[in-house]
Amino acid sequence: MRGGVIWTDSDLLQRKTSFRAMSRPRPVVLSGPSGAGKSTLMKRLMKEHEGLFGFSVSHTTRNPRPGEEDGKDYHYTSREAMQKGIDNGDFIENAEFSGNMYGTSKSAVEDVLAKNVICILDVDIQGVRRIKDTDLNPIYISVQPPSMEILEKRLRDRQTETEESLQKRLDAARTDMELSKEDGLFDVVIINDDLERAYEELKDVLSEEIKNVQEAQS
Ligand SMILES: Nc1ncnc2c1ncn2[C@@H]1O[C@H](COP(=O)(O)OP(=O)(O)OP(=O)(O)O)[C@@H](O)[C@H]1O
Ligand SMILES: Nc1nc2c(ncn2[C@@H]2O[C@H](COP(=O)(O)O)[C@@H](O)[C@H]2O)c(=O)[nH]1
């Protein structure tokens, strides 16, 4: 794994200054319970704004789902390899979620930042807290389902989970829905009830960043 900018060491302030001086587009962190609709909203955003966004491809130890591609949706890896990368300091954050490891490597973020596009990170609430300790300075958005019942239906209908992993995700969702109420943790909370409305809200929140990148590219 490639090394590079380290966001949590002692010259944090120095690098914060240099980040601002380069006026890079502000990254976006999308979080919220599994099944709330983060990927659905993100994929639509990236499709409608081609060349303006870049996805930070996380690592995970979970198996690929049908249709998912290694290097595009995730870097699929083993526990051993991932732990080695973590011990090596290659990750800005990592977490255990529903029996698997997930993490954002430094190079995943750097590769997107280098293109001067808006970097999107899809991470759970533990990842949000870890990213708060870095100088990435993203916009924090929580995507929430209208209710636990609707979330469960969406996860079941998606047909990606076993009963066991579904129950783990529902447990994590209850915690997420509670913790995400914390004052100041998120800049915006979007309730993804009606998809069109949620998408418009997401675009609205990001309109300034989108405009800035469009102008920089023209
Ligand atoms: N507003 C909505 N109304 C109805 N169904 C929705 C809505 N938003 C998303 N869905 C559906 O709900 C399911 C879960 O959405 P999605 O996979 O985007 O969630 P996610 O938050 O990215 O989950 P994960 O964190 O597990 O990747 C999908 O099958 C998607 O098509
Ligand atoms: N802390 C992190 N969480 C991550 C990362 N990549 C994804 N996720 C979160 O995991 C769950 C489950 O994802 P799924 O693809 O298995 O359904 C979801 O809440 C994601 O937001 C990461 O790099 N770090």
Per-residue CA distances from 171 to 152, 164, 176, 180 (Å):
11, 11, 9, 14
In the residue annotation, 62 being an active-site residue is answered as no
pTM, 2 dp: 0.92
Please tell me the distance from the alpha carbon of residue 144 to that of residue 31, in angstroms, as a whole number: 8
pLDDT at 18 over 60: no
With a 6 Å cutoff on the Cβ, whether 34 touches ligand 1 is yes
Per-residue CA distances from 215 to 110, 208, 209, 210 (Å):
22, 11, 10, 9
Q: What is the 3-state secondary structure (H, E, C) of 154-213?
A: HHHHHCCCCHHHHHHHHHHHHHHHHHCCCCCCCCEEEECCCHHHHHHHHHHHCHHHHHHH
Banded pLDDT at 23 (limits 50, 70, 90): confident
What is the number of the ligand 1 atom nearest to the C-alpha of 157? 29
The arithmetic mean of pLDDT across residues 55-70, rounded, is 97
pLDDT at 16 over 90: no
For residue 16, report the distance from its CA to the centre of ligand 2, in Å: 26
What is the number of the ligand 2 atom nearest to the C-alpha of 172? 19
Six-digit token string for 18: 């240099």
In the residue annotation, 65 being an active-site residue is answered as yes
How far does Cα 168 stand from its chain's mean position?
Answer: 20
Considering every ligand atom shown, identify the ligand nearest to the alpha carbon of residue 98 and give its number.
Answer: 2
For residue 144, report the distance from its CA to the centre of ligand 2, in Å: 15
Per-residue CA distances from 21 to 14, 25, 166, 196 (Å):
11, 12, 45, 36
Please answer whether residues 158 and 34 qualify as being in contact, where contact means their C-beta atoms are separated by less than 8 angstroms. Answer: no
With a 6 Å cutoff on the Cβ, whether 40 touches ligand 1 is yes
What domains can be seen in the chain, in order of their start residue? 24-209 (3.40.50.300)
For residue 38, report the distance from its CA to the centre of ligand 1, in Å: 7
In the residue annotation, 169 being an active-site residue is answered as yes
- Residues lining ligand 2, judged by CB closer than 6 Å? 34, 58, 62, 93, 95, 97, 102-104, 122-124, 126-127
Structure confidence at residue 22 (pLDDT): 54
> Which ipTM was obtained for this model?
0.98
